[in-house]
Structure 1
Amino acid sequence: MARKIIGGLIQMSNPINEADAPVDKVAQAMVDKHLPLIEEAGNKGVQILCLQEMFNGPYFCPSQDPRWCDIAESVPGPTIDMMAKLAAKHQMVMIVPIYERAMAGVYYNTAAVIDADGTYLGKYRKNHIPHTSGFWEKFFFKPGNLGYPVFKTRYATVGVYICYDRHFPEGARLLGLNGAEIVFNPSATVAGLSQYLWKLEQPAHAVANGYFMGCSNRVGTEAPWNIGKFYGTSYFVNPRGEFLAAGSEDDDELVVAEMDLDMIEEVRRVWQFYRDRRPDSYEDMVKQLP
């Protein structure tokens, strides 16, 4: 019997772009704006839904303003509890990227995974943290310390990679080795420097590892930082690197695709990248070189 799964991605612009807007007001507006599209996903039969990176706020990392730490909360916490109720209502797995407060002064860029009955399954913490002009993420986030877990949901085994992680093949391979059938990459990335890579790297991960990927990216321009245009183009890609569905560059959208998970076995029988690995020759990869 074919294992066909309906996946969904939400891409969204920030509704409040005012430099002095209260942090809690911005966060609540973003949550409120997502709710209709989450309901739409449920009504369309989406079984696994992924939101964009730090879905309940702007991408505030171009600043070094500590007040944005006020968006952070425990995981699980009130926002994840609310999303768990929506997951249970629609019998829909949800990947919810959120700013996590682990303890006073310790924060992570995190994605919570909620099963279709509302059960919190665990979280992934972004491992690769950039720190460069426009992306001062190390000011806000500690690098992840949970490795590359996968989560056995009702419908599929899923893994999570977050934004800048996508530039690194090592974690993408580990997610496959750990059993991921679908890897989700919620992102906040702007036109210019990285846009040409957006449709290259992640299909390459899907092909190299024989799994599906769902890649979400926010849209619009966010003041007061104005670091560039978030170009959306959220998409699903299969283990052959073929695009199944893609969003626009500008609009708030729910992107939906059907994935036949039996394709994973079919592709891996032809391309034996796991069989032909040579981990005995990779010793230098785990050394601090140069």
Structure 2
Amino acid sequence: MTVTTRAAAVQLSVGHAPADAIALALSLIERAADEGAGLVVLPEIFAAPFVQPEPDPDYFAYAEKLDGPSNAMAAEVSKRRGITVVSSIFEEREVAGVYANTACTFSNGELVQVYRKSHLPFSNGFPEKFYFRPGDEAPSAVDTTAGRVGTIICYERHFPELGRAVALDGGTVLAVPVACASAPMKDVFQLELRAQAVANGLYVVCANRSGLEVAKDYFGTSAVYGPSGEILAQVDDGDGIAIADIDGDLVARTRRTRPFLRDRRPELYTSLAR
């Protein structure tokens, strides 16, 4: 299905209580929908502070079930506005003591995909392995009101295989909720996202937070990237939305003129699975 719509990356400033962060996110989703967005992506674990360099058992208080307040808001506005919303939560799983870093895609109010972050850092001030159990499923694409969308989460942008998995599953948009705060990595951050777009011939919608949160200074730079790696829209600092048109036909044309998916030789890559 070819879809032409608009995509928006929501950027949130830090320092809000969860209920206030959810209300702020809702107001920005509404603004994006008013401007024609059919797809809205929220930052990684958008309603809570993100993990700090030292493991903190008290952080588990921010966990919520899949039907908790963050996703309840995303589902409601998705249905009411007839759009797709990619939410992100600190998920409390069914088994006591098990948690995940989870992205949920709502299309017209329906939960159409749950993706649990499968690659977790324990470095550079992000001890995520202390809090989250890694997901066991590869990223994939799912049909939504905004076309075929797949999600990877933050640290996973370092792994080219994950965006490629979404593209091979027919994805035309890669949603990337992030919590990125390492200033020396800012240029690499954008390089990686642009590379994902070019290598896979798809749109990339990346949503970050902004501002100083305890020991971490989040650099914002939420953006929508086109399938040639161009920056179509960007928010530098503070609260806001980066919004741009996405065109399924352009994805198809790009994949014909740069046929990287066609010219793959998977039989030569078996060593990559070691």
TM range (shorter): over 0.9
3-state SS in 2 of match to 1:164? helix
Compare 186-195 and 168-177 and name the one that shifted more: 186-195
Q: Cα 1:133–1:267, aligned 2, differ >3 Å: closer, same or farther?
A: closer
Letter of the 2:144 partner, please give it.
T
Q: Report the TM-score when normalising by structure 1.
A: 0.90
Shift of residue 192 of structure 1?
2.3
- Kept after mapping to 1: 8 A contact 2:2/2:147: no
Shift of residue 222 of structure 1?
0.4
Shift of residue 111 of structure 1?
0.4
CA distance in 2, matches of 1:284, 1:264: 30
Identical pairs, percent: 35
> Which residue is equivalent to 2:258?
271
CA distance in 1, matches of 2:188, 2:73: 34
Letter of the 1:10 partner, please give it.
V
Q: Cα 1:154–1:2, aligned 2, differ >3 Å: closer, same or farther?
A: closer
Shift of residue 42 of structure 1?
2.2
Residues 1:260 and 2:247 are matched in the alignment: yes
Q: Of Structure 1 and Structure 2, which has the larger fraction of its residues in strand?
A: 2
Shift of residue 76 of structure 1?
3.6
Correspondence for 1:244 among 229, 232, 236:
232
Q: Structure 2 unaligned runs (5+)? A: none
Q: Report the TM-score when normalising by structure 2.
A: 0.95
> Which residue is equivalent to 2:114?
123
> Which residue is equivalent to 1:9?
9
3-state SS in 1 of match to 2:246? strand
Shift of residue 247 of structure 1?
0.9
CA distance in 1, matches of 2:273, 2:182: 32
Compare 6-15 and 26-35 and name the one that shifted more: 26-35
- Segments of 4+ moved more than 2 angstroms: 60-63, 76-79
CA distance in 1, matches of 2:124, 2:225: 31
Shift of residue 67 of structure 1?
1.7
Correspondence for 1:107 among 96, 99, 106:
99
Residues 1:95 and 2:86 are matched in the alignment: yes
CA distance in 1, matches of 2:100, 2:254: 35
Larger Rg: 1
Note the alpha carbon deviations across 1:233-282, whole angstroms, 9 max, x for none.
1111111111111111x221111111111111111111111121111111
Compare 143-152 and 49-58 and name the one that shifted more: 143-152
